[in-house]
């Protein structure tokens, strides 16, 4: 029998199996044979005989429908909303990681702002809500290939140092912070991606200052110590590579929907949310609310999906380059 015929026969068998099921009135099921039995007329004498059976069945029914005790909470999580647990949504580790080396396995997404920090806002749209929406979409896209966690899954305050702490504790391989920009009136809308580093650009300093406004938890001394360490470390190269892959993908994909979009490039700036990260970390400004056209597009779910897909493709491109590097070094 050819494969096509076999499949057709199996599909027909599955349809028949379900059709037989559909025709079965519950109590007359014959689940072993799949046959449908016709309900019989019940005589009054039979009814008398059935009374005890009915009584037992009623008791059983009552037993089944007794209110069930509340399940006990299995873990107490103190301050749940303030300290979200990191749970990965992807599949568990594969059996033979050596055969399919995947240097990037865990990704932490950080939807910018949240709670009492709305970020930028225009015409009823807020940066915090857009970032969360895009992060959810991105998580769904990534979840079949990676273990993905988010620093917040609701409109809630999460301190900047807490965000990278979550990523560090999760052993993340990549940290992506999602933001929406606000540019001065004379600047065309564009996308830009940052990795942690010093900057001499006063405009970037101002942007960093704006995004760092929630930086509780770090003292000035902490920041200096962390920055000194981070700038010198090799992961800056990885962060730049990640930022480049994401920026390339963001601009390449979104320009198809907005021909006026500008490539504002890959830049370094001292964003606090990136400082504590022990893995390649970037901050992507995926759109700008200062541009009326972008505001209109951001109201369209398909555009938000495009942004998520562009981020997904950028992360994938970076992961594949890591994979290639791993293979080459292995060879």
Partner 1 sequence: MVAITTQTAVTPEPPVLKVGIDLGTSRSSISAANGERHMVRSYVGWPRDMVARKVLRREVLVGIEALEKRPMLELRRPLERGLIKEGSARDEQAVREIVRRLLDLAVPQGRDPKPAIHAVVGVPAETLRVNRQNLRRILDGQIASTMIVSEPFAVAYGLDALVHTMVVDVGAGTTDLCILMGRFPTESDQRTLNVAGDAVDDHLHARIEERFPDASVSIHMARAWKEKYSFVGGGGPVVVDAPVNGRPTRIDITEPMRTACESLLEPLRETMLDLIARVEPEYQSRVRNNVILTGGSGLIRGLGAALQSSLGELGGGRVRVVKDPVFVGSDGGLTLANDVRDEDWRRLAGSRGTQ
Q: Least distance from C-beta 60 to partner 1, angstroms?
A: 9
Give 219-285 as a 3 state SS string.
CHHHHHHHHHHHHHCCHHHHHHHHHHHHHHHHHHHHCCCCCCCEEEEEEEECCHHHHCCCCCEEEEE
Q: Which stretch binds partner 1 (CB under 8 A): 66-74, 182-190, 227-235, 269-277?
A: 66-74
Size of the site for partner 1 (CB under 8 A): 57
Q: Which stretch binds partner 1 (CB under 8 A): 12-20, 245-253, 267-275, 318-326?
A: 12-20
Q: How far apart are CA 103 and CA 319, in angstroms?
A: 7
- Eight-class DSSP state of 306: H
Contact 239, 195 (CB under 8 A): yes
Neighbours of 262 (CB within 10 A): 16
Shortest distance (Å) from residue 313 CB to partner 1: 15
**Lookup: tokens for 65:** 């429908």
* From 48, 50, 56, 64, residue interacting with partner 1 (rule: CB under 8 A): 64
Q: Which residues of 292-323 are buried (b: 16+ CB within 10 A; e: fewer)?
A: eebbebbeeeebbbbbbbbbbbbbbbbbebbe
Interface with partner 1 in residues 73-132 (CB under 8 A) = 73-77, 80-81, 84-85, 87-96, 100
Task: Write down the least CB distance from residue 7 to partner 1, Å.
Answer: 6
Query: Per CB under 8 A, does 69 bind partner 1?
Result: no
The secondary structure of 112-141 as a DSSP string is --BTTB--SEETTEEHHHHHHHHHHHHHHH
Alpha-carbon span 178 to 243, nearest angstrom? 12
Measured from the CB atom, the residue of 96 and 200 that comes closer to partner 1 is 96
Rounded (5°) CA angle 84-284-231: 90
**Residue nearer to partner 1 on the CB measure, 96 or 228:** 96
Segment lying near partner 1 (by CB under 8 A), choices 21-29, 157-165, 229-237, 317-325: 21-29
Question: Is residue 55 part of the contact set for partner 1 (CB under 8 A)?
Answer: no
49 touching partner 1, by CB under 8 A: no
Report, in Å, the least distance between residue 154 CB and partner 1: 8
Q: Which of residues 285-314 bind partner 1 (CB under 8 A)?
A: 301-302
DSSP tag of 48: H
Residue 85 · residue 138 · CB < 8 Å? no
263 binds partner 1 (CB under 8 A): no
Q: Which stretch binds partner 1 (CB under 8 A): 58-66, 172-180, 191-199, 227-235?
A: 58-66
Question: Closer CB to partner 1, residue 94 or residue 292?
Answer: 94
Q: Considering the complex, what minimum distance in angstroms separates the CB of residue 71 from partner 1?
A: 6
Q: Smallest gap, in angstroms, from Cβ of residue 74 to partner 1? A: 5
Our finding on whether 3 is near partner 1 (CB under 8 A) is: yes
Instruction: Report if residue 200 touches partner 1, rule: CB under 8 A.
Output: no
Task: Give dist(CA 183, CA 129) in Å, integer.
Answer: 19
Q: Which residues bind partner 1 (CB under 8 A)?
A: 1, 3, 6-15, 17-19, 21-24, 26, 29, 31-32, 61, 64-65, 68, 70-71, 73-77, 80-81, 84-85, 87-96, 100, 140, 143-145, 153-154, 301-302
């Amino acid at each position: 029998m050819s494969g096509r015929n076999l499949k057709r026969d199996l599909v027909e068998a599955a349809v028949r199996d379900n059709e037989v099921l559909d025709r079965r009135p519950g109590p007359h099921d014959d689940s072993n044979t799949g046959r449908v039995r016709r309900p019989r007329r019940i005589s009054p004498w039979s009814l008398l005989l059935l009374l005890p059976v009915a009584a037992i069945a009623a008791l059983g029914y009552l037993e089944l429908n007794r209110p069930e005790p509340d399940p006990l909470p299995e873990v107490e999580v103190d301050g749940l909303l303030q300290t979200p647990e990191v749970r990965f949504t992807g599949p568990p580790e594969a059996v033979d990681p050596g055969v399919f080396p995947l240097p990037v396995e865990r990704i932490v997404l950080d939807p910018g702002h949240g709670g009492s920090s709305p970020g930028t806002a225009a015409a009823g749209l807020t940066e915090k809500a857009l970032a969360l929406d895009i992060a959810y979409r991105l998580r769904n896209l990534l979840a079949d290939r990676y273990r993905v966690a988010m620093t917040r899954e609701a409109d809630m305050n999460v301190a900047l140092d807490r965000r990278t702490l979550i990523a560090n504790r999760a052993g993340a391989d990549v940290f992506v912070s999602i933001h929406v920009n606000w540019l001065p009136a004379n600047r065309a809308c564009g996308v830009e991606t940052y990795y942690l580093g010093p900057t001499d650009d006063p405009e970037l300093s101002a942007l960093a200052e704006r995004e760092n406004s929630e930086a509780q938890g770090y003292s000035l001394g902490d920041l200096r110590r962390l920055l000194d360490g981070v700038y010198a470390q090799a992961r800056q190269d990885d962060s730049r590579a990640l930022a480049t892959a994401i920026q390339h993908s963001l601009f390449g994909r979104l320009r198809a929907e907005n021909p006026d979009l500008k490539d504002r490039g890959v830049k370094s700036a001292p964003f606090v949310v990136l400082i504590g990260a022990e893995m390649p970390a970037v901050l992507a400004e995926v759109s700008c609310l200062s541009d009326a056209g972008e505001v209109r597009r951001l109201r369209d779910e398909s555009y938000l999906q495009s942004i998520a897909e562009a981020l997904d493709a950028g992360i994938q491109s970076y992961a594949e380059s890591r994979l290639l590097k791993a293979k080459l070094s292995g060879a």
